Structure formats: C-alpha cells, structure tokens
A = this chain, B = another copy of it.
C-alpha cells in the first residue's frame, strides 16, 4: 500500500490504509528529530511555498521545520504581502508562484475550500494547513499519531472533544479521522457551538461534561476564541470556564490513564486550567513534537519523486 495522491486537502477523503501509511512513516521520520544532526537529504532541490492568508506561528513553523529537515528550500508568502494588497486574485497569485516551479504549496486560508480550488489549478502538490471552518488535516494526523503513541491503537477509544466545535476545523478533521479509525467521538460544549449536523458525521453529543468524562480515553480541549462572546454565542468567558473549562476538579472521575490534548495556542484559565495543561495527563507538547514528524511524512509523500523509495537512514551529508 502506498500514498498516490497529489494533494492532502482533508481527512474526509482519505482511506484507512492511507492514514495508517502516513502514521507509519511519521513514526520512522520522528526519529530524525531526536538526532544530533536533524537533517536528511530526501527533498534536496525541492521547493515548498507556504501560502498563509491567516496568521499562524506554530503551524507555519512546524511545516517549515519539517521541510528544512528534509532539505527542501522554503518560501513564505503571507496575506499582508503586496500582491494581495494590490488586489490580485488568489488564483493569479498561485498561478504566478506556480510558474516559478514549486513542488508543494502549504496553504492556509480563511475561506473553506480555498486549497481545493488551488489544487485543481496547479500541478504542484497542495497541503491544506487549515481552511476556514472546514479541515486541518495535518492537525488530525498529529492528533492520531499522539493518541496511538499513548494508547497503542486508534480503534475502540472514546475521544471527547470539548468546546467550540462549530467553528473548529480541527474538530471536523479529528471527527473524520478518529471515526474512520474506529473510535467513538463525543462532543461537549455550549449548544450554540454544536450544531446538530455533527451527529451525521458519526459523533455523539453529550450535554454535561460530568456525563462523558468518566468514559473518556482522550479529552481534546479546543481553544475558545474570545470573540465568540461578542458574537453572543457565549454568556461570558468566566461562565464558559466554570462549565466547560478542564480543571483538576472536572477530571476527578476520569480514567487514570486519560490523556489531555489541545491544538494550541492555549487560553490558560479559560478552556483549560494551568494545572491540567502542565499536569501528568497532558500530552499537549507531544502533539507539537509529532506535528513536525507528521508534516515531514506528508511532505515526503507528496514531494518525492514517485519512483524512489524512502531513504532516511543516513544523515544529510558526508561532512
């Protein structure tokens, strides 16, 4: 089995075997990041363009580190740069960059579907690094890798996702992925932020944290955007924190081996208490470490010459 796609646009379209293949490769590549010389020549001479129309530190840096550790050259185009200001269309910007012969575009955009549109118009590979309220596939892959690291499997687990499900592309990608892999996903949050169609995706909705925490193998805490309060979707951050914020008290009846995840950046004291974020159940920094490995795997699968086989066994250069 292998991965033959040109693009990684979402988890929804992936087959179980493809997800497994990416996760297997991620585990191999992860080891590179623990070396003293964290670099292999695999993608030398390849060009990766980060096209970020939404601000991002961690995702862009994670992709950038992943690309450079595979020896690719990277370029960063952000939404505040000139051509966009000058009123050029997204497609013209991309076609222009494509004419410079990049191998991969890593795209973040506030419009759901933007990476899909670009993928149809370029021969280069497109990786969706987050599109509107749609998908964020590399986040779901790193979440699955992290869960598998700690639980040894992805099937038969009970994963509770807490918070603003509605606006979260992370939640959507995780629901698609975890459900596909055989886990039960339970959603918990303010009713204004969990529309009923999530049940069509195979997730279950739980109204009270106390009902779903005892069964949870994994609790995934979503970031609460503070602007939701102004949008009248929440009474107050304080009340949100009291009802849905994950604190040691809320975890009293949790399983001993429950793991706590968060895609970052955290609002400490809002959706998660510092005690939990830094506590023994937290695997939040493992997620970040796995993010680099998963992105290396995805870049590798998309940017490699299709004929060649992985060779990650030797360091970058005979120096």
Query: A20-28, A77-85, A160-168: which one contacts chain B?
Result: A77-85
Count the A residues whose beta carbon is within 8 Å of the partner chain — how many?
63
A41-B319, A316-B45, A319-B317 given as contacts; is B96 within 8 A of A84 (CB)?
no
Partner of A288, one of B69, B100, B226: B100
The answer to whether the Cβ of A88 comes within 8 Å of any Cβ in the partner chain is yes
User: In the complex, what residue of chain B is closest to A71 when comparing beta carbons?
Assistant: B319
Which residues of chain B are within 8 angstroms of A95 by Cβ–Cβ distance?
Answer: 285
Report the Cα distance A179→B29, complex, angstroms: 50
Query: A4-12, A170-178, A261-269: which one contacts chain B?
Result: A261-269
Partner of A82, one of B44, B56, B68, B268: B56
Copy total for this chain: 3
Which residues in window 252-306 of A have CB below 8 A to B?
264-268, 285-289, 291-292, 305
Q: Are A46 and B38 in contact (CB under 8 A)?
A: yes
Q: Are A289 and B57 in contact (CB under 8 A)?
A: no
Q: Are B45 and A36 in contact (CB under 8 A)?
A: yes
The answer to whether the Cβ of A34 comes within 8 Å of any Cβ in the partner chain is yes
| A residues in contact (CB < 8 Å) with B | 33-39, 41, 44-47, 54-58, 61-62, 64-65, 68-69, 73, 75, 77, 81-89, 92-93, 95-101, 226, 264-268, 285-289, 291-292, 305, 315-319
